[in-house]
Structure 1
């Protein structure tokens, strides 16, 4: 059994970092008017540029766009000519020589209830941020679908059903031989991992293929306060072995209080960190890129959470 509660993970994390000082900084953006940029990707290389994908959104709205930014004189600026998408929470990976980019699309719920929204994960593929074409859309009401190219060339797929099967959100895993085999059916049938209690939730954000062929999963763990008036989100990580289908408990790697103070979209989101991506530095350290309070983007230098698992 690998169930971990938010409070258990938080207690273990705070005990492990009692004497640690963290480097952190808010990331500055321009070129999007008065809109916020948050829930960013880690930086990645594309077309000779270092790129960050970010969720761009007005403070009073959930309707957002994904922009691609590059750093100019310390400020991240939209890249001329790069595509934009009507999505939330961007992510990226690479499969073969292709860039895979995705995010969450919101749309009116099919039931016809006024103002009720549903969502799904959308994937695009291409050689760069200028030539992406739609590849696949996931099942309705499912965020946080992620793919990764495995050491044997197959594709690992992490899912996150909600509702009757997944409650508030549980992580699942399955595999396909190639991207063209991705279907709603295979995603809906992914085996669920026993990690989160039913009154809490989590999801995979970014998958790292480790040197031993195992997968280091950057994720988030979340809960409501006891009166359900406040959301608490923290960054976490776990190990998944695609050969044996064994996996570790989640371990918390960052919480909101480690970052600089800042704004929040609403009062109930002040304790929210959304894991966007992780840049491994190769020296036992890593930089976590995250959204904060659904209003800002920050980075935080931490111990590389995958080092211990890569050595096994």
Structure 2
């Protein structure tokens, strides 16, 4: 299996490539959430099964605030409502995975900056349990790091990192492997090598979800983002693949853009062009459902061509 990495590409170049492919994004729907006191629900996970029931974890937040909770929702009569008795975590941007049959749920924890007055700091935290009801905190990532992700590789555990600052600039992706969850540590995460040549220094990105593919490659669903001249943010859902055995990785490809989803509200004017890749559900017919946060104000899903199918035939 050979993955080819070419030169680093900007958002503008990736948008041009994507437009030439004329990708169909169909069955776009807004996901309806109720029972959360007129708050927005966005940056959701894909649905996953827990105790025989489909569940979505979502970021629940007032329009004028960054302080959010992660709530677990279940579907009732076409709408998603908070699951009775489920824990609520004071986190942003939830995600989930399964490792050795155990449920792992995480998100971004914000807290007062240790040095700067009236500023916030953040880190990725992880919970584990046999189900949602038994989730218990087991790891806090490095200060200042979002988009830390784990994935079961069967013979090991993949770790996707996203340092910022001296090592990662505005945010770059790293990858390493560990033997067990017990091997996870802040020094290991901080020493994880970057996947070079994915982002120009003015732009940034991160991993949102990782899928072990049938041939052993790792399909990564993520986002790439930039500022424009006016200071507005632009977030695009993207994918690439990694060979965990060799560390080789493919070019980034966009898989959707904002105007392919339904029009809707935005948290602030500078966030209108934001699609935050929450999760992907692959289907046998070569399609996939993408679940995404839209403009930091709502959640939508759509059907796209399965972006990982191309890597499974390598």
TM-score range, shorter chain: over 0.9
1:1-312 alignment, distance < 5 Å: 1-17=6-22, 20=24, 22-111=26-115, 113-152=116-155, 154-194=156-196, 195-227=198-230, 229-312=231-314
The whole-number CA distance in structure 2 between the counterparts of 1:257 and 1:178 is 41
Change (3 A) 1:21 1:146: closer
Cα-to-partner distance string for 1:44-87 (whole Å, 9 max, x where unaligned):
01111100000000000000000000111110000001111000
Change (3 A) 1:21 1:168: closer
Alignment check: 8 A CA contact 1:2 1:248 kept: no
Q: CA deviation at 1:25?
A: 0.6
Q: CA deviation at 1:110?
A: 0.7
The whole-number CA distance in structure 2 between the counterparts of 1:29 and 1:23 is 18
SS at match of 2:259: helix
TM-score using structure 2 length: 0.97
Over the aligned positions, Cα root-mean-square deviation in angstroms equals: 0.9
The whole-number CA distance in structure 2 between the counterparts of 1:148 and 1:300 is 24
Q: List alignment gaps of at least 5 residues for structure 2.
A: 1-5
The whole-number CA distance in structure 2 between the counterparts of 1:283 and 1:216 is 18
Change (3 A) 1:32 1:309: same
The whole-number CA distance in structure 2 between the counterparts of 1:144 and 1:71 is 27
The whole-number CA distance in structure 2 between the counterparts of 1:3 and 1:80 is 47
SS at match of 1:247: coil
Runs of 4+ in 1 over 4 A off after TM superposition: none
The whole-number CA distance in structure 2 between the counterparts of 1:21 and 1:102 is 29
Matched length: 308
Other-structure match for 2:3: none
Alignment check: 8 A CA contact 1:151 1:213 kept: no
TM-score using structure 1 length: 0.97
Q: List alignment gaps of at least 5 residues for structure 1.
A: none
Q: CA deviation at 1:97?
A: 1.6
The whole-number CA distance in structure 2 between the counterparts of 1:242 and 1:138 is 22
